[in-house]
Amino acid sequence: MLSTLGSIQIDPAFWIWLGALVVVVVVAGIALIAIRRRMFSESASADMQAGGLLEQMRVLRDQGKMSDKEYEDARRSLIERVSASKPIAASEPTEKN
């Protein structure tokens, strides 16, 4: 049985394929949203881990188990690693040395 749209007859298979296409687009959209959330949560988690590591290095420096030079070198390296993994937005000011 063919559907009629004005003077054009449409095969029922068309509606099945159209429905399947809509389902695929919706599922792909949901997958992209889930992937995006996971990416941003990992980025935030990495920042928190870096902050904890930096605090541990401060404690070691304060206890005399790490020299000031070692602390500064490790701190710079950690900041560079975190900064490299996070894109800088155009509206954020950049640090100048």
The answer, yes or no, to whether residue 7 has pLDDT greater than 80, is no
* Residue 51 resides in a domain: yes
* Residue 77 resides in a domain: yes
- Domain of 76 in residue numbering reads as 44-87
Bridge partners for 5 per DSSP: 8
Check residue 96 and give its pLDDT.
55
The answer, yes or no, to whether residue 91 has pLDDT greater than 60, is no
pTM: 0.40
* Residue 63 resides in a domain: yes
Q: How many separate domains does the chain show?
A: 1
Check residue 1 and give its pLDDT.
53
* Residue 76 resides in a domain: yes
Check residue 78 and give its pLDDT.
83
Q: pLDDT tens digit string along 18-58? A: 999 999 999 999 999 988 887 777 655 666 677 788 888 88
The DSSP code sequence of the chain is --EEETTEEE-HHHHHHHHHHHHHHHHHHHHHHHHHHHHHHHHHHHHHHHHHHHHHHHHHHHHTSS-HHHHHHHHHHHHHHHHHHSPPPTTSPPP--
* Residue 16 resides in a domain: no
* Residue 60 resides in a domain: yes
* Residue 10 resides in a domain: no
Check residue 92 and give its pLDDT.
53
Check residue 62 and give its pLDDT.
92
* Residue 66 resides in a domain: yes
